[in-house]
Amino acid sequence: MAHTGTSDALTGEGALPAFHAEPGALYVVATPIGNLRDVTLRALDILRSADIVAAEDTRVTATLLRRHGIAARPMSLRAHNEALQSGTVIAALAGGKSVALVSDAGTPAVSDPGARLVRAVREAGLRVVPIPGPSALATAIAAAGLRAERFVFLGFLPQQHKARTDLLEACAALPLALVLYEAPHRVRATVAALHASLGERELVVARELTKAFETLTALPLGDAPAWFAADAHRERGEFVLMVDAPVDTSPAGVSAEAQRWLRVLSGELPPARAARVVAEMTGAPRDALYRLAMAARAGDEA
């Protein structure tokens, strides 16, 4: 008889019963982000018992399955074929099969393929069951020690310059930490873009989490380009970048939005003119804005 309860009471006696994938259910299974021993017991139960394992990269998933003695041969479900394969998965579920969905690492549908399939399965009136476990996002935040009590997750930033700049500037005034993923070949350009749009804030770089060369480093955002340039090894691996919330050091009456506009306009206008324009736009006191603009200019010239 299948065991699919949502919780198990810990009685201290005997082993917990194994879970078994049920017919007609899609299981969204989190897998290790690096260290293969981070897989959960329930994830292994589902991977062993599911009729089909749908994987972002069948080679990566096959390695995980072999390490745990699971004989399943995964089918491919990646970003480029997700729409097509969703129909195949739904047909299998409707026919009484069980399906386990995994990505290369971490939790599917979090900056990885899967969200389109999950939505299609729900719209078809079929079951979706989350199997929680590793997540680079949660792992990085837990070890970062951010001051911010709240954050916004941006995933991978747009590659187009204007789209990336528009997104960052829309988030700049938020009193939140910003968390994003990045690939090694873009990380230096990304930290430069973060500094240009967000100004001086603290950055925490989490690299190769749970792997042999895991590193977590906190530094001022403005120092990040030089920090990466100082050692080529720092650009290798997969990254979670966390920019802490801005520290409120603004003079009375000068909002974070006004400071953002002042920072943007000061690059194009003299301090007095920039302060006057921002005062007209936001209602912030012009003299306070002028002092901020002059202080910023002095810092740039130092």
Give 106-162 pLDDT, tens digit per residue: 999 999 999 999 999 999 999 999 999 999 999 999 999 999 999 999 999 999 999
My answer on whether 85 and 160 are in the same domain is no
Q: What is the pLDDT of residue 1?
A: 40
Segments in the chain below pLDDT 50? 1-2, 4-6, 9-11
> In angstroms, rounded to a whole number, what is the distance separating the alpha carbons of residues 87 and 82?
9
Q: What is the pLDDT of residue 297?
A: 76
> In angstroms, rounded to a whole number, what is the distance separating the alpha carbons of residues 132 and 126?
19
> In angstroms, rounded to a whole number, what is the distance separating the alpha carbons of residues 25 and 7?
18
The reply to whether the predicted model has a pTM over 0.85 is no
**Tokens in use for 11?**
């009685």
Residue 249 inside a domain? The answer is no
My answer on whether 128 and 175 are in the same domain is no
Q: What is the pLDDT of residue 257?
A: 84
Residue 181 inside a domain? The answer is yes
Residue where a domain terminates, one of 91, 106, 134: 134
Judge whether 126 and 94 are in contact, CB under 8 Å: yes
My answer on whether 167 and 205 are in the same domain is yes
Residue 272 inside a domain? The answer is yes
Other Cβ atoms less than 10 A from the Cβ of 33: the count is 25
Q: Which domain holds residue 287?
A: 256-301
Residue where a domain terminates, one of 115, 134, 153: 134
Residue where a domain terminates, one of 84, 101, 134: 134
Residue 110 inside a domain? The answer is yes
My answer on whether 107 and 150 are in the same domain is no
Residue 6 inside a domain? The answer is no
Closest CA to 146 of 259, 250, 235, 246: 246
| HEC string for the chain | CCCCCCCCCCCCCCCCCCCCCCCCEEEEECECCCCHHHCCHHHHHHHHHCCEEEECCHHHHHHHHHHCCCCCCCEECCCCCHHHHHHHHHHHHHCCCCEEEECCCECCCCCCCCHHHHHHHHHCCCEEEEECCCCHHHHHHHHHCCCCCCEEEEEECCCCHHHHHHHHHHHCCCCCEEEEEECHHHHHHHHHHHHHHHCCCEEEEEECCCCCCCEEEEEEHHHHHHHHHCCHHHHCCCEEEEECCCCCCCCCCCCHHHHHHHHHHHCCCCHHHHHHHHHHHHCCCHHHHHHHHHHHHHHHHC
CATH code, domain with 49 = 3.40.1010.10
Go through the chain and tell me how many residues it has.
302
Q: What is the pLDDT of residue 299?
A: 65
Q: What is the pLDDT of residue 253?
A: 73
Q: What is the largest CA-CA distance in the chain?
A: 77
- What is the four-CA torsion angle of 46, 50, 52, 53, rounded to 10 degrees? 10
My answer on whether 64 and 108 are in the same domain is yes
What is the total count of domains within the chain? 3
My answer on whether 160 and 183 are in the same domain is yes
CATH code, domain with 189 = 3.30.950.10
My answer on whether 166 and 85 are in the same domain is no
Judge whether 76 and 55 are in contact, CB under 8 Å: yes
Q: How far is CA 39 from the centre of its chain?
A: 19
Q: What is the pLDDT of residue 300?
A: 66
Judge whether 52 and 154 are in contact, CB under 8 Å: no
